[in-house]
């Protein structure tokens, strides 16, 4: 039985603020960045650079 590792690094998804698609997944260190992560990334559905915000991975 594998146990889940609890630590400062957590997996997150980046969701497009315009089309609401989860396009990217990444890791975030909770000790270094307490707030929500926001990056300007390319959205293949809108075919332009848009703001992507942090969302939970299900």
- pLDDT-derived band at 1 (thresholds 50, 70, 90) equals low
List, in order of start, the domains of the chain with CATH numbers. 9-55 (2.20.28.120)
Check residue 2 and give its pLDDT.
Answer: 56
- Mean local confidence (pLDDT), 41-47: 95
What's this model's pTM, rounded to 2 decimal places?
Answer: 0.79
The answer to whether the beta carbons of residues 8 and 31 sit under 8 Å apart is yes
Question: Which pair of tokens denotes residue 25?
Answer: 């997944």
pLDDT in tens, 8-34: 899 999 999 999 999 999 999 999 999
């Amino acid at each position: 039985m594998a146990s889940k590792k609890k630590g400062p690094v957590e997996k997150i998804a980046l969701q497009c603020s315009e089309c609401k698609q989860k396009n990217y997944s990444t890791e975030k260190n909770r000790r270094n960045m307490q707030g929500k992560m926001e990056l300007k990334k390319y959205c293949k559905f809108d075919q332009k650079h848009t703001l992507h915000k942090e969302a939970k991975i299900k």
